[in-house]
Every structure is written in structure tokens, then in C-alpha cells.
């Protein structure tokens, strides 16, 4: 090529880039690499075929978790039928993009199929059904799903320190301990038998992220399990933040006391819901305040080497449970807007991740 042709090509390139051309921002997963932090999101199977959804997911995150695809009503729709079709697609996607997979959830009081909740099973039969469920599902993903929420939201919401009344608590609640935690102990043992390598978590939300009477009870359970060799490896703090308030000092203290027991903490379901107008839009000031909550929680997690994952409950405001959950008075809770554009929260989280652990 002649010199003038080279010069012309370069001049044309520079012109096309414009005066403000900058390299693309690093992704969240790139920013997280130096601290080996897992940065994850809940994922909906149906959206994997939407190219902007799939490309944002693969570029930004190094971990994912099926939002609903591993819940009983999806994965175990009839007593004798297990259906892994949805979850398998998510697992396959994660494999293609070098992402770790969390499993959610084996024992919960919601999203259970009617055959189960209305089956009027006796305790022994229900315990058999639960054991078979846990062993089949964990076994199917043995070596693929690295961490499981074995039990989700077992605490009573009204009476701190008590267990919620559920089919599991009330029926197979007949385990080796007498305080009502027996059924959970059995579930952790069954999951461990099915995949001895998987990390097993107790996952909880509704204020237990901070130190209070509810998290005190979970702390006592985890301490007891650890002392007696019940295989529990971690506690998931959901972190659904409404009203822009997260008591970060207390969250830090809570993380400290749990990690001192030798278990890991994962932030499992973070979102920060904002008041929205009829079009689903939040104010600019609220979007900045939201970014600050994401930043503060990331900083608190990074400050403790036992806090090893930060996961959000979805990543685009286009698909978030907050809308339907709040009758559309709240929303805009996630990192990317409905057009997959990064919000101030993404930048705040990315900067916190890039700064690494202290």
C-alpha cells in the first residue's frame, strides 16, 4: 500500500471513531477477576434465545443461577416425573461461557406442585419423596452445579427465631434433633450424599442479612450444624433491598460472625427496588442512590475473604420479579435498563470490584 493510502485509511478510521473514542468499559466479570469474586445473576430459560439478553449475560457475569427452573413445580411436575429440560439449557449456556452454576432450591414452601402440597402424605412417605427429590436433582447435576441452596427461607417471618410452618417443617420435621431443625439436617445430609463436592447453603432473606433476632436463630443453627458435622458450607444472604436502605454496618457484622464459623457467605439475590412511574421509570436521584447501595454491599462483601460471591436477582429491568411482586409500583431494581444499557449501579459495582479486596 502506498504511504498516502495508509495515511488516508488511518485518517478515515480516526474520523469514524470520533474525538471521544474510548475503549469499551471492562465487564463486571473482568473487573472481578483480580479478587476472584464470583459475580452472578439469576437467569430465565425463555430469555436465553434473546440475543441482547444472552450476550449481556455471557459478557458481564462469571456465575449464574436458574431463577425458577430448578424449583419443584418445574423440575418435579408429577410424582414420578423429573423434567430437567429448562435447567439443562441454562447449565449448557453456563458451560459454553465459562460460568459457574448455583442451584436454587431444593426445599422451599413456595412454587411446589399440587400433587405434593395436596397429596396428604404421611411423614415417612413425605420424607421418602423429599430424599428422592434431593438425590435425583443434585445427582443429575453432580460435578456441574458447584453450590446449592439446599433450604430456602425456612424462618418464620412474623415470629423471629421460629421456623415457618410448611409441609416440610410440619411433616418430616422428625429428624435427629428435636428443635424443629431436624428436617433441614436430613436435607443437607442427603444433598451431600448425592454430590460430596458441592457446596451446600442455607439461603434466607427478609432482614436476615443484618444482625437481628432472625439471623441469630440461623446463626445458632449453623453453629450447631458445624459442631456436629452436618455438611453445611455456606449461608446465602438474599439482599432484596427495598426503600434504599441497607444497614451495611450490621450486614458486615453478620457476615463476620458467620464466616468465623467457617462457612462462606454468598450474596444471592440482590436487587434494589425503586419507586417507578407508570412507564416503569425511576428518578435520576434514585438511580444514583441505588448505585450507592450496590457499591456499599459490594465493598462489605469484598472486605471479608469469606464472602465469595455477589449475585443479583436478574440483570435487566426488562425481566425482574419486582414489578409483578409490587403491583408495578416499584421496579428499576437491577444493573441494566430495559434496553440492556448499563445503569449507574453497574458502574458503581464494577468500580468496587475493580478496586478488589482491601
Residues at the contact surface with ligand XIL, assessed by CB under 6 A? 67-68, 152, 205, 238, 269, 321
Nearer to ligand XIL, 124 or 243 (CB): 243
How far apart (Å, rounded) are the C-alpha atoms in residues 19 and 37? 35
Nearer to ligand XIL, 187 or 353 (CB): 187
How far apart (Å, rounded) are the C-alpha atoms in residues 285 and 342? 16
Rounded least distance, CB 329 to ligand XIL, Å: 17
Rounded least distance, CB 42 to ligand XIL, Å: 7
How far apart (Å, rounded) are the C-alpha atoms in residues 322 and 313? 9
Nearer to ligand XIL, 68 or 233 (CB): 68
C-alpha cell at 307: 464472602
Residues 6+ apart with CB under 8 A from 43: 57, 64, 65, 66, 67, 90, 93, 314
Nearer to ligand XIL, 152 or 215 (CB): 152
Nearer to ligand XIL, 27 or 209 (CB): 209
Nearer to ligand XIL, 127 or 184 (CB): 184
How far apart (Å, rounded) are the C-alpha atoms in residues 42 and 113? 21
Residues 6+ apart with CB under 8 A from 168: 107, 109, 126, 130, 154, 183
SS (H, E, C) 38-103: EEEEEECHHHHHCHHHHHHHHHHCCEEEECCCCCHHHHCCECCECCCHHHHHHHHHHHHCCCEEEE
Catalytic residue among 67, 153, 204, 290: 153
162: annotated active-site residue = no
Rounded least distance, CB 103 to ligand XIL, Å: 12
Rounded least distance, CB 163 to ligand XIL, Å: 16
Catalytic residue among 67, 185, 204, 269: 269
C-alpha cell at 59: 459478557
Rounded least distance, CB 86 to ligand XIL, Å: 12
Rounded least distance, CB 321 to ligand XIL, Å: 3
How far apart (Å, rounded) are the C-alpha atoms in residues 123 and 135? 18
The DSSP symbol for 25 reads P
Rounded least distance, CB 348 to ligand XIL, Å: 23
- Pairing of β 330-331 and β 274-275: antiparallel
Nearer to ligand XIL, 178 or 324 (CB): 324
Confirm if 134 and 194 have CB atoms less than 8 A apart.
Answer: yes
**Long-range own/partner contacts, residues 348-351 (CB < 8 A, 24 or more apart):** 348/291, 348/292, 348/294, 348/295, 348/298, 349/28, 349/39, 349/291, 349/294, 349/295, 349/298, 349/310, 350/25, 350/26, 350/27, 350/28, 350/31, 351/31, 351/295
Active site residues: 153, 269
Amino acid at each position: 500500500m502506498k504511504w498516502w493510502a495508509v495515511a488516508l485509511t488511518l485518517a478515515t478510521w480516526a474520523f469514524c471513531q470520533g474525538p471521544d473514542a474510548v475503549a469499551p468499559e471492562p465487564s463486571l466479570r473482568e473487573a472481578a477477576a483480580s479478587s476472584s469474586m464470583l459475580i452472578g445473576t439469576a437467569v430465565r430459560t425463555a430469555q436465553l434465545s434473546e440475543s441482547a439478553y444472552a450476550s449481556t449475560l455471557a459478557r458481564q457475569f462469571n456465575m449464574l443461577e436458574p431463577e425458577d427452573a430448578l424449583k419443584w413445580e418445574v423440575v418435579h411436575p408429577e410424582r414420578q416425573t423429573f423434567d430437567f429440560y429448562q435447567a439443562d439449557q441454562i447449565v449448557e449456556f453456563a458451560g459454553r461461557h465459562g460460568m459457574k452454576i448455583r442451584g436454587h432450591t431444593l426445599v422451599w414452601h413456595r412454587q411446589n406442585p399440587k400433587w405434593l402440597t395436596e397429596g396428604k402424605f404421611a411423614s415417612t412417605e413425605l420424607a421418602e419423596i423429599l430424599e428422592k427429590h434431593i438425590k435425583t436433582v443434585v445427582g443429575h447435576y453432580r460435578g456441574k452445579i458447584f453450590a446449592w441452596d439446599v433450604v430456602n427461607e425456612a424462618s418464620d417471618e412474623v415470629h423471629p427465631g421460629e421456623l415457618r410452618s410448611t409441609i416440610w417443617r410440619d411433616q418430616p420435621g422428625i429428624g435427629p434433633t428435636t428443635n424443629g431443625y431436624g428436617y433441614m439436617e436430613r436435607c443437607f445430609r442427603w444433598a451431600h450424599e448425592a454430590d460430596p463436592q458441592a457446596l451446600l447453603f442455607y439461603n434466607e432473606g427478609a432482614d436476615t442479612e443484618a444482625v437481628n433476632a432472625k439471623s441469630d436463630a440461623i446463626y445458632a443453627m449453623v453453629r450447631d450444624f458445624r459442631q456436629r458435622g452436618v455438611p453445611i458450607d455456606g449461608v446465602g444472604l438474599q439482599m432484596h433491598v427495598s426503600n434504599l436502605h441497607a444497614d451495611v454496618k450490621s450486614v458486615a457484622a453478620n457476615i463476620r460472625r458467620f464466616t468465623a464459623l467457617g462457612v462462606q457467605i454468598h450474596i444471592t439475590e440482590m436487587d434494589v427496588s425503586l419507586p417507578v412511574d407508570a412507564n416503569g421509570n425511576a428518578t435520576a436521584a434514585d438511580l444514583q442512590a441505588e448505585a450507592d447501595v450496590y457499591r456499599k454491599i459490594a465493598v462489605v462483601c469484598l472486605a471479608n475473604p469469606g464472602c465469595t460471591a455477589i449475585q443479583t436477582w436478574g440483570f435487566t429491568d426488562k425481566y425482574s420479579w419486582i414489578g409483578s411482586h409490587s403491583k408495578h409500583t416499584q421496579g428499576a431494581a437491577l444493573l441494566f435498563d430495559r434496553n440492556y444499557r448499563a445503569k449507574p449501579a453497574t458502574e458503581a459495582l464494577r468500580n468496587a470490584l475493580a478496586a478488589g479486596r482491601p
